[in-house]
């Protein structure tokens, strides 16, 4: 027999408000230590210079990470005009300068051109892989990194404030793969200047919002009183967009064994009516549904021909 993996079987999501100057990996490790959890992961990297919503999955919730990664995101950020840096944020060295400071009216007029499906070249300092290597590793090693443009979706883009001539505060809603730093670069070029992101905060990832997020200090305080699990959100939190079907304990037993269950006509019709295009991690989940028993999430299944066949099953180990 193999060695048992250390840690406790803790299942659920932590809606963490990641602090500045901490990597996403470090944040996951900190949360995992607090819970002494066997397994943990996060739903979308936040740079050390960014704060805000970092959903962290524990235990069986890690099976739903791809769904959270595909969820829409909202970022609030500050652009500093007149200086473009190597990293397109405040961490890098200034490589281009401009004396142009766009007026509020000009900024607002330019925003519509960046909403919808647009072509965007990711920053050289990004986690995208180039021939097996992370782009940021190559850039830091002094190599020239040329990334191809790709199509991203910007759902909304709004100018919130211009507190001073050098600064503009914006909010962007976007899909997976969009870069705030690239948006700031391209917007500046459109306005005849250069810029970088001076501050960045993620305020939403799907159902996870900043106003309900918990800080590491708050989580540690709860842990000192043996109350850390009060901060846990259900495994199904990341599956809010999936239609649900309520099943019996016998049906839950079958699904956990990998068997299909027969749907009642009203269940099958309801799931068919709720069907929508959903591509998660490159797979078609348009027929997917969440099977729920009285004890919680049982499985993500595919509804087809009057049956629900398990795709991902949740196993509730408790020791």
The answer to whether 312 and 256 have CB atoms below 8 angstroms apart is no
Cα–Cα–Cα angle for 240, 245, 248, rounded to 5 degrees: 130
Which residues sit opposite 117 in a β-bridge? 153
Which residues sit opposite 309 in a β-bridge? 302
Cα–Cα–Cα angle for 49, 55, 57, rounded to 5 degrees: 130
How far apart are alpha carbons 206 and 68 in whole angstroms?
Answer: 7
Catalytic (active-site) positions = 47
How far apart are alpha carbons 183 and 122 in whole angstroms?
Answer: 9
Lateral strand order in the sheet of 261-262: 244-246, 288-293, 296-304, 307-313, 261-262
The answer to whether 159 and 170 have CB atoms below 8 angstroms apart is yes
Question: What is the residue-wise DSSP string for 37-96?
Answer: BS-EEESS---TTEEEEEEEEEGGGGGGHHHHHHS-EEEEEEEEETEEESSSBTTS-EEE
The answer to whether 152 and 175 have CB atoms below 8 angstroms apart is yes
How far apart are alpha carbons 171 and 122 in whole angstroms?
Answer: 19
Q: Is the dihedral of CA 206, 207, 209, 214 positive or negative?
A: negative
Q: Which residues contact 112 (CB under 8 A, 6 or more apart)?
A: none
For residue 98, give the 3-state DSSP assignment. coil
Please identify which residue in the block is written with the tokens 């159902």.
207
CA 49 to mean position of chain CA atoms: 16
Per-residue tokens: 63: 């099976």
């Amino acid at each position: 027999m193999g060695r048992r993996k250390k840690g406790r079987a803790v299942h659920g999501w932590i809606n963490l408000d990641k602090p500045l100057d901490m990597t996403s990996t470090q944040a996951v490790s900190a949360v995992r230590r607090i819970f002494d959890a066997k397994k943990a992961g996060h739903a979308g990297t936040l740079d050390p210079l960014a704060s805000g919503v970092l959903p962290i999955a524990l235990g069986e919730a890690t099976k739903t990470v791809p769904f959270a990664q595909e969820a829409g995101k909202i970022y609030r950020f500050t652009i500093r005009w007149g200086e473009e840096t190597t990293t397109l944020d405040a961490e890098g060295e200034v490589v281009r300068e401009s004396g142009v400071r766009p007026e509020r009216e000009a900024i607002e007029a330019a925003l519509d051109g960046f909403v919808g499906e647009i072509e965007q070249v990711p920053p050289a300092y990004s986690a995208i892989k180039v021939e097996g290597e992370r782009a940021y590793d190559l850039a830091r090693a002094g190599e020239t990194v040329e990334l191809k443009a790709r199509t991203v979706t910007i759902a909304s883009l709004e100018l919130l404030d211009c507190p001073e001539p050098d600064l503009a505060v914006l909010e962007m809603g976007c899909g997976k793969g969009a870069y705030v730093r690239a948006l700031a670069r391209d917007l500046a070029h459109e306005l005849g200047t250069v810029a970088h992101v001076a501050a960045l905060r993620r305020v939403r990832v799907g159902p996870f919002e900043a106003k309900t997020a918990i800080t590491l200090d708050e989580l540690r305080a709860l842990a000192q009183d043996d109350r850390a699990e009060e901060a846990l959100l259900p495994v199904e939190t990341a599956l809010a967009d999936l239609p649900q079907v309520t099943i019996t304990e016998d049906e839950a037993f079958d699904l956990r064994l990998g068997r299909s269950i027969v749907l009642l006509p009203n269940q099958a019709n309801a799931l068919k009516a709720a069907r929508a295009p959903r591509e998660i991690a490159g797979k078609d989940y348009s027929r997917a549904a969440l099977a729920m028993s009285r004890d919680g999430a049982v499985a993500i299944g595919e509804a087809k021909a009057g049956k629900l066949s398990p795709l991902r099953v949740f196993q509730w180990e408790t020791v």
